[in-house]
C-alpha cells in the first residue's frame, strides 16, 4: 500500500522526536518516498543528518531559500505540500498544534500542512506531558484540527522519555505505520462511521460472592472485540469497556477494563452524553450478591443462602436518555421465545437495533468464533444473517448501524 506513495513526516520539538529516524526507515523499507519537514524545535531533539541519511533526501526546515543560488526552488513552501500523498506529524507539540489550528505558516512544516491537496490524509500524533495534553487550549486545538478532517491519535499511557509515568507517549514507529496504512485504506475515509464516537461493551462481568469467588457467565468478549476492531478499521473513535477476558486490544481502540456491572456502569456513563453510538455486547450479570463476604467463606454449613440484588441495566439507562442523534444497539441472547423477547427488549429499552443471538454454544453465542445473528430494527425490519465469523458478523451489524445514522436517514 505504501509503495511509491509520497509521505511527509513533520517533526516538532518534543522529546519523542528521537524515534523518528526509525519511522523514516520503516516507511522507506515499505517503498514509500519520504521527505522530512522539521521545526526549529525539532532539530534540538533529533539530528537532521540522521534523518537526511535515512530519508535519502535533504531535510526541510526553513521557509526561506538562499537567494541568488543556482538550482534553488523558490516555491518550496508550496511544492512540498503539493507533492505529498499523506502528512504525518509526529511528535506534534502543543506549540505546533496551536499554529496548525489557527493557520499560522512560518516554517516548512506548517506551510506543507496548509498547502496539502484537499482530501490527503493528515495524521497528527500529539505527544507531551499528560497535564499539557489535557489543558483546555491543547484540547480545543485538537478538536479544531479533528473537525478540519485531521486524524488525531491520542498519546499512549506508560513510561515517558522524561522518566515519568503517565499519558503523553507517542506511539511506536511500527504503530504509526499501521495508522498510516489504515488511513490510506480508502474505505476508512468513506465509511459513515469515520470520526464517529462509538462505545462498545464486551465480555462478562464478575459479581463478588466473597474475596475469592464470583458469579459470572461464559461470555468470551469475542463479539464485542470484533465490533470494536471493525469499527476502528472504519475510522470510528472506539472506546471498548470490557469485563475480564483473554483477548488482545484491537488496534486503534481505547480499552477500559472493569470487573463488575456497577464498574461497567461507572465507566460507561461519562460517554452517554457525547457518544454517537452505544453498542452493548457485554453479558452483564443480571444480579449481584447483596453483601459479598469479606475474605474467604468457610464451608461449615451444609447449605447457605445467597441474596441477590438486581444490577443496573446500562443499555436501558442509555436508551432512555439518548438524543435523536444517538444510536443505542443491544444484543439479546435468548434460549426461549427468542425473537419475541428480543423485540420486547428493543421496545422497552428504546433501542434502535437489537441483534438476536441464536444460542447453541457450537456455532453461535458465547465463547465460539462464529455467530448467527438476526438484526431487528426499531421500525420492525428484520434481517436474518447466516452463520458468520464474529468479524464478519460485526461487519454486517455495523453496515446496518451505518444506515441508521441520522445523516443517512432520508
Ligand X SMILES: Cc1cc2nc3c(=O)[nH]c(=O)nc-3n(C[C@H](O)[C@H](O)[C@H](O)COP(=O)(O)O)c2cc1C
Catalytically active residues, by annotation: 217
Give me the helices (H) in 64-167, please: 76-83, 94-102, 108-115, 130-134, 136-147
Q: Which helix (H) or strand (E) is 167 found in, with range? A: strand 165-169
Give me the helices (H) in 150-248, please: 173-184, 186-190, 222-233
Rounded distance between C-alpha atoms, residue 87 and residue 113, angstroms: 8
Rounded distance between C-alpha atoms, residue 24 and residue 316, angstroms: 48
If you count them, how many residues does the chain have?
A: 410
Among residues 94 and 223, whose Cβ is nearest to ligand X? 94
Please state the closest distance from residue 50 (CB atom) to ligand X, in A.
Answer: 17
| Contact by Cβ (8 Å): 198, 275 | yes
Task: List interacting residues with ligand X (CB under 6 A).
Answer: 12-15, 39-42, 93-96, 127-128
Rounded distance between C-alpha atoms, residue 42 and residue 45, angstroms: 6
Among residues 93 and 326, whose Cβ is nearest to ligand X? 93
Among residues 94 and 226, whose Cβ is nearest to ligand X? 94
Please state the closest distance from residue 15 (CB atom) to ligand X, in A.
Answer: 4
Please state the closest distance from residue 161 (CB atom) to ligand X, in A.
Answer: 8
Among residues 96 and 311, whose Cβ is nearest to ligand X? 96
Please state the closest distance from residue 120 (CB atom) to ligand X, in A.
Answer: 22
Cα 75 to its chain centre, rounded Å, is 38
Rounded distance between C-alpha atoms, residue 171 and residue 88, angstroms: 12
Please state the closest distance from residue 77 (CB atom) to ligand X, in A.
Answer: 16
Cell, residue 351: 433501542
Among residues 39 and 205, whose Cβ is nearest to ligand X? 39
Closest-CA residue to 283 (of 319, 321, 326, 313): 313
Please state the closest distance from residue 43 (CB atom) to ligand X, in A.
Answer: 9
3-state helix, strand, coil in the chain (%, to 5): 35, 20, 40
| Contact by Cβ (8 Å): 324, 340 | no
CB burial of 241-270 (b: ≥16 within 10 Å; e: otherwise) equals bbbebebeebebbebeebbbbbbbbebbee
Cell, residue 317: 439507562
Among residues 94 and 193, whose Cβ is nearest to ligand X? 94
Amino acid at each position: 500500500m505504501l509503495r511509491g506513495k509520497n509521505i511527509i513526516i513533520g517533526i516538532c520539538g518534543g522529546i519523542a522526536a528521537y524515534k523518528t529516524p526509525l519511522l523514516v526507515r520503516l516507511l522507506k523499507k515499505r517503498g514509500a518516498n519520504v521527505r522530512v519537514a522539521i521545526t526549529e524545535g525539532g532539530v534540538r531533539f533529533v539530528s537532521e543528518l540522521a534523518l537526511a541519511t535515512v530519508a535519502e533526501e535533504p531535510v526541510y526546515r526553513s521557509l526561506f531559500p538562499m537567494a541568488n543560488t543556482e538550482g534553488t526552488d523558490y516555491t518550496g513552501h508550496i511544492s512540498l505540500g503539493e507533492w505529498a500523498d499523506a502528512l504525518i506529524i509526529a511528535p506534534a507539540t502543543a506549540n505546533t498544534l496551536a499554529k496548525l489550528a489557527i493557520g499560522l505558516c512560518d516554517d516548512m512544516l506548517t506551510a506543507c500542512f496548509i498547502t496539502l491537496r484537499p482530501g490527503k490524509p493528515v495524521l497528527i500524533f500529539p505527544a507531551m506531558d499528560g497535564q499539557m495534553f489535557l489543558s483546555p487550549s491543547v484540547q480545543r486545538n485538537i478538536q479544531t484540527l479533528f473537525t478540519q478532517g485531521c486524524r488525531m491519535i491520542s498519546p499512549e499511557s506508560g513510561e515517558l522519555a522524561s522518566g515519568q509515568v503517565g499519558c503523553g507517549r507517542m506511539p511506536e514507529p511500527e504503530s504509526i505505520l499501521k495508522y498510516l496504512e489504515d488511513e490510506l485504506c480508502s474505505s476508512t475515509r468513506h465509511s459513515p462511521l469515520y470520526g464517529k464516537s462509538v462505545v462498545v461493551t464486551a465480555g462478562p462481568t464478575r459479581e463478588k460472592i466473597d474475596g475469592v469467588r464470583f458469579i459470572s457467565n461464559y461470555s468470551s468478549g469475542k463479539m464485542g472485540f470484533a465490533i470494536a476492531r471493525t469499527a476502528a478499521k472504519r475510522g470510528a473513535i472506539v472506546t471498548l469497556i470490557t469485563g475480564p477476558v483473554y483477548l488482545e486490544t484491537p488496534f486503534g481502540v481505547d480499552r477500559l477494563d472493569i470487573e463488575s456491572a456497577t464498574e461497567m456502569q461507572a465507566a460507561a456513563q461519562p460517554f452517554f452524553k457525547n457518544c454517537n453510538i452505544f453498542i452493548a455486547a457485554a453479558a452483564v450479570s443480571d444480579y449481584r450478591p447483596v453483601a459479598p463476604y469479606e475474605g474467604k467463606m468457610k464451608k461449615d454449613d451444609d447449605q447457605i443462602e445467597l441474596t441477590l440484588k438486581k444490577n443496573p441495566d446500562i443499555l436501558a439507562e442509555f436508551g432512555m436518555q439518548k438524543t435523536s442523534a444517538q444510536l443505542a444497539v443491544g444484543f439479546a441472547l435468548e434460549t426461549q421465545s427468542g425473537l419475541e423477547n428480543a423485540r420486547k427488549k428493543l421496545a422497552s429499552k428504546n433501542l434502535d437495533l437489537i441483534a438476536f443471538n441464536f444460542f447453541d454454544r457450537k456455532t453461535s453465542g458465547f465463547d465460539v468464533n462464529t455467530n448467527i445473528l438476526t438484526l431487528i430494527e426499531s421500525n420492525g425490519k428484520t434481517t436474518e444473517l447466516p452463520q458468520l465469523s464474529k468479524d464478519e458478523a460485526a461487519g454486517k451489524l455495523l453496515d446496518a448501524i451505518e444506515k441508521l445514522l441520522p445523516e443517512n436517514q432520508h
